[in-house]
Amino acid sequence: MNWTAYYRAFRVSVNGFTFWILLMAGITILPISTTTGILLLIASIDAFFDVLAGVGFRLKRYGGILRAINYFTEGTSALVGGMLVMYGMMYMNYFESWFFKSLVIVGGITLFCSILDITTEEPYMTTMSIVKRIFSIGDKYVVFKDKRK
């Protein structure tokens, strides 16, 4: 079974959806809270970069300013994901709405994807090798080997 193709399709669809949601949230929040709106817009740019990476354009291969922009957007996306998880967890016990439960899920996915993108910056560490080791597909223990030798 070709898990890599399924995983890529899943990542592109999730990041595409996340891009639009964060973009609309950033545009909506921008007049109310400028800082939060800018953070959400930067996180949406990161989701768009992840969509581009899923379809074949990799910013990691190009050094310099594009790599710095990628690190900045990934870090901001991790910050926004963590904030969404904490915000959702604070209020989901007080309100019977699925909104706060979905914030925890979306924030967790955003946080997980951004940390995964930061850790797979090195060419010897692929995303699928980390995912397979997290879910114990193919390896019994999580051991990262350096293939640069």
- Mean local confidence (pLDDT), 128-132: 62
The CB-side HSE value for 108 (13 A sphere, CA atoms) comes to: 8
In what helix (H) or strand (E) does residue 90 lie, and over which residues does it extend?
Answer: helix 65-91
pTM of the model: 0.68
Nearest to 52 by CA among 19, 6, 4, 3: 19
Structure-token pair, residue 48: 């768009």
Nearest to 107 by CA among 94, 129, 90: 90
Per-residue pLDDT for 75 more than 80? yes
pLDDT confidence of 138, banded at 50, 70, 90? low
Structure-token pair, residue 146: 């350096």
* pLDDT > 70: percent of the chain: 74
Structure-token pair, residue 112: 């997980």
The residue with greater pLDDT, 119 or 1, is: 119
- Please say whether the beta carbons of 18 and 109 come within 8 A: yes
Q: What is the pLDDT of residue 122?
A: 59
Q: What is the largest CA-CA distance in the chain?
A: 55
Nearest to 26 by CA among 46, 8, 12, 9: 46
Map out the domains of the chain as residue ranges: 3-115
